[in-house]
Amino acid sequence: MKTAFFAACVASAAAFAPSTKPAFGTSLAGKQDFLEAEPYWDQSTVPVNVYKNKAPFTGKVVSTKRIVGPKATGETCHIIIDHNGDFPYWEGQSWGVIPPGVREKDGKPHSVRLYSIASSRYGDDMTGKTGSLCVRRATYWCPELKAEDPAKKGICSNFLCDTKPGDEIQMTGPAGKVMLIPEENPNTDLIMVATGTGIAPYRGFIRRLFFEDTPAANAYKGTAWLFMGVANSDALLYDDELQEVKKKFPNNFRLDYALSREQENKKGGKMYVQDKVEEYADEIFTKLDNGAHIYFCGLKGMMPGIQDMLKSVAESKKIDYEEWVKELKAKKQWHVEVY
C-alpha cells in the first residue's frame, strides 16, 4: 500500500522540486533502498561530523521558496541544497551552516548555526543527492524606530532565505543522534511535538515512513502522531503533504494542530501545543508506557509549558514525574532538540 502511495505523492512533493529538473516520477523509478544500513535499522554507522568548521563542505542551492501564507507571523523558507551525494545524513540530524563574511565586533568568521534537516536521507527528489532546510527569517522589530532594525537581523537565517539557485553554502556536520528514529521495532509509536520550524526533523521522518519506498516504510506498523503549534493557519508548514499522508494512512498517521491565535484551550486561553497534547494525555501516557518514543523540537521556550503540563498530568495519575521522565530517558524514549 505504501509503495502505491509513493506514486500518489509525486505531485505533492513536486511543489518543492526545482523547475530545472524533471517532475517527480519521471526519473525516480525504483525503491529508495540505496542509502540504507545493513540491516536498515542498525544505527552503528550513522555519519557524524564528517565535515568540520575548518574544512566545511560546499553545497549549492537548488531552490529557495517561501512556504507560509501572507498572514503568517514571519517568513519561513524551504531551501533545497545539492550535495551531489557527498554529504550523507540520516533523518533527525542537523546541518551546520557558516554564513559568509565576518563578525563586526572582531573581524572573525561567523560561527556555525545548526539547522535540523527537513528531508529524508534521499532528499526531496529522492536521488540521495540533495537535502532540505526549513528556515524562519530572524528579524528584530525596534519599538523606537517602529520598524525592523536590519542591524539586528539574524545573519544566517537571512543569508539562507535570500539565497538563489546556484549560490554556494559552507556546511558542517551532519550533527546529532538524539533525534534518530528507532526502526528496529516497526511497531513503535512516534509522538512528535513541534513548534514552528521544529517540524523539520519530523518531515524527514514522515517522508521516510510514508512517502518513500524504503525498507522502513514497508515494515512500519506503528502510529506516527504529530502535534504542531503555530500562530495561525497561514503559518502552517507542509500542510499539503501532511494532509495527504493523513488521508492515505489514517491508521498509521495522526495530526493535531495548535493555532494560538485562532483556537482556545479548555480554559478559554490561547491554544498552545502543550494544551493540544494535554487533550490526549491519557492516551499519550499509555503509549509511552507501552514503548512509544516522544520527540520535542522547536524554540526552547516551548519546554517549560510542556513539562509543567506533563508534570500536572503525572501528579493527577499519582505518578512521580521526575522518576517517570528519568525512566523514559533511560529507555531512550525521550528526545529533545530545542534552540
Indicate if 337 belongs to the active site: yes
Q: Which of 9, 77, 156, 297 is catalytic?
A: 297
Name the phi and psi angles at 216, rounded to 5.
-65, -40
Q: Which of 51, 77, 91, 116 is catalytic?
A: 116
Indicate if 257 belongs to the active site: no
Indicate if 115 belongs to the active site: yes
Nearest to 90 by CA among 219, 183, 18: 183
Q: Which of 9, 51, 77, 115 is catalytic?
A: 115
Cell triple for residue 205?
Answer: 521522518
CB atoms within 10 A of CB 199: 26
Indicate if 339 belongs to the active site: yes
Cβ contacts of residue 297 below 8 Å, gap of 6+? 116, 179, 192, 193, 194, 195, 198, 199, 200, 201, 202, 336, 337, 338
Cβ contacts of residue 6 below 8 Å, gap of 6+? 211, 212, 213
**In 143-294, where does DSSP find H-type helix?**
155-161, 200-206, 215-219, 239-248, 273-279, 281-289
| Placement of cell 498517521 in the chain | 253
Binding residues for NADP(+): 116, 136, 197, 260-261, 270, 298-299, 337
CB atoms within 10 A of CB 324: 18
Residues 39-69: b if buried by 16+ CB within 10 A, e if exposed: eebeeeebeeeebeeeebbebbbbbbeebbe
Q: Which of 183, 212, 241, 337 is catalytic?
A: 337
Indicate if 295 belongs to the active site: no
Specify the amino acid at residue 284. Answer: I
Rounded distance, CA 290 to CA 188, Å? 9
Rg of the chain over all Cα atoms, to the nearest angstrom: 20
Just list the catalytic residues: 115-116, 297, 337, 339
